[in-house]
Amino acid sequence: MKLKTLSSAILLTSLPVTGAFAAAMDRSGQSMSAFLQPGNYFEAGLSILDPDVSGKEAGTSETRRHVSDMADDYYFPSAALKIQANENFSFGLLYDQPFGAKAEYSGNNVFVSNPGSDAILSPTAVDGIVTKKAIEALTAQGAPINEQTIAAAKQQVLASPQFQQLNGALNAAKGYLGEGATKVKVDTQNIAAVFGYQPTKNWNVYAGGVYQTIKGSVQLRGQAYSLYNGYDANIKETGGWGWLVGAAYQIPEIALKASLTYRSEIDHDVNVKEDLSLTSFPAFNTVLGGLGISSDKIAAMNSEGKTTITTPQSVNLDFQSGIMADTVAFANLRWVNWKDFSIQPHKFGKVSEAIGGLVNRPNGFNLVEYSDDQWSVTAGVGRKLTEKWAGNVSVGWDSGAGNPVSTLGPTEGYWNVGLGLQYSPAPNYFIAGGVKYFWLGDAKAQTGAQAGGSEYVADFQDNNAIAYGMKIGYKF
């Protein structure tokens, strides 16, 4: 079973839809397969994803309305050039878009602004404030604290001139909430310069530098986000540096190849342009003071500062081997450290620290965070059908990055099946295409203020996605 009889099937193991819909914001899967091809090699690919993610209001939401499809279609390209300078040294340039997000809510639900009915604070939050003030009053009086005394004290708080004034200000502030719908868009680009050393025909040790850019925008709207209903953040494109290192082992005679690649996290120090429409309400600071927020925290909300966004480290383990004439089996295992990932723009964070006590988050909270690391597995079989045609089938699983999960990406992992086909008009070039169908995991969606707890505002079930990919490759 010689390598040349399996070359078509081996190339097919890296169709460009590998990680099209993965946990959190993982997209491309960051494959190293192009760099590990024999000789000089070039490829370019394009993946397109068409997801359908819908659900209903649930949990702490006061209503139970339908939430229509909020996941937008997107596409991402990839390209690679590998030069084998001599039998011992190789060099490669790898381009992809490893992380991203694109979503927009619509319809009539807690993720779309409704100026006529949206409140600054939910009824649950208001009740919590009233209860806190009632207990404080009872404590100051030295009165017993039980259900009956708290209920009576709450009525006194509700009837007090101070609370009536605060409630009037909260109602007046409704006119300063945001308009439109919640949406998010995040894009990254990666280019890696990789150097490889092959001491023997079996071993390849490689390492390189990675330059990555990130840009994005977030718009929070609707009752789900309370006083963040009207928050905007725009991240101007910013770059950062990282690195990768790996090793591969192969036995060409039986088409065996295994590789292990580590990619570092990458820091981005960005200036996020932030706006919270509610701050234009003339009595906004007075309202915050009435809610018991200190003047120092109110002042900090207007401070300026940079935001650090750190994209996660990851490990890829790839394996393939010939199993019979003209047939190769392949597998990929990927780990991404989403558990340590979070985004907290400067102003968002200062506001969260100010109001965090109202939602049992005294130290504030993040715009986005994940509770678990991502694990994903893809396995399949590729087979050479004729001298010019080859095909493959695969199955994949992704763990997700925790549940409940952010309202900006409310799915928990997936199962998928894929089919691929490759046409090679000549031995040195090919055209490949593939399709994958995803069964997306059910998830409960929570806002940043709820992250880390069990509360949530919507439930997303029975969703799916379909991905298409095309790639051209040339050996020279």
Give the residue, 244 or 302, on which the prediction is more confident. 244
Residue carrying the six token digits 């706006």: 275
**Helices 147-159 and 161-173: crossing angle, nearest 10°?**
70
Q: Measured on CA atoms in the order 90, 207, 374, 309, is the torsion positive or negative?
A: negative
Same domain, 137 and 20: no
Same domain, 82 and 147: no
**Rounded mean pLDDT of the chain?**
92
What's the pLDDT tens digit per position in 276-311?
Answer: 999 999 999 988 988 889 999 999 998 889 999 999
Q: Which of 130, 159, 176 is the last residue of a domain?
A: 176
Same domain, 98 and 132: no
Residue 118: pLDDT over 80: yes
Q: Which of 139, 157, 176 is the last residue of a domain?
A: 176
What's the pLDDT tens digit per position in 14-61?
Answer: 555 666 677 889 999 999 999 999 999 999 999 999 999 999 999 999
Rg value, the chain, Cα: 27
Residue span of the structural domain in which 167 resides: 119-176
Q: What DSSP line would sit under 262-303, residue for residue?
A: EE--EEEEE-EEEEEGGGGSTTHHHHHHHTT--HHHHHHTT-
341-124-111-221 Cα dihedral, nearest 10 degrees: -80
Same domain, 15 and 138: no
Degrees, nearest 5: CA angle 430-84-421: 15
Structural domain count, the chain: 2
Same domain, 365 and 460: yes
Q: Which of 100, 77, 98 is nearest to 29 (CA)?
A: 98
Q: Report how far residue 174's alpha carbon sits from residue 229's, in angstroms, rounded to the nearest whole number.
A: 10
List the structure tokens of 56: 């209903």
Per residue in 427-459, is it b (16+ CB within 10 Å) or e — as a string? eeebebbbbbebebbbbbbbbbbbbeeebbbbb
Q: How far is CA 416 from the centre of its chain?
A: 19
Record the pTM: 0.93
The backbone torsions φ and ψ at residue 396, rounded to the nearest 5 degrees and listed phi first, read -135, 155
Residue 228: pLDDT over 90: yes
Q: What's the pLDDT at 115?
A: 81
Q: Over pLDDT 70: what percentage of the chain? A: 96
Q: What's the pLDDT at 292?
A: 84
Single-letter residue type at 257? K
What's the pLDDT tens digit per position in 416-441?
Answer: 999 999 999 999 999 999 999 999 99
Same domain, 135 and 90: no
Q: Which of 150, 176, 202 is the last residue of a domain?
A: 176
| Domain CATH number, residue 427 | 2.40.160.60
Same domain, 271 and 290: yes
Q: Report how far residue 328's alpha carbon sits from residue 422's, in angstroms, rounded to the nearest whole number.
A: 14
Same domain, 291 and 396: yes
For residues 24 and 420, is the Cβ–Cβ distance under 8 A?
Answer: no
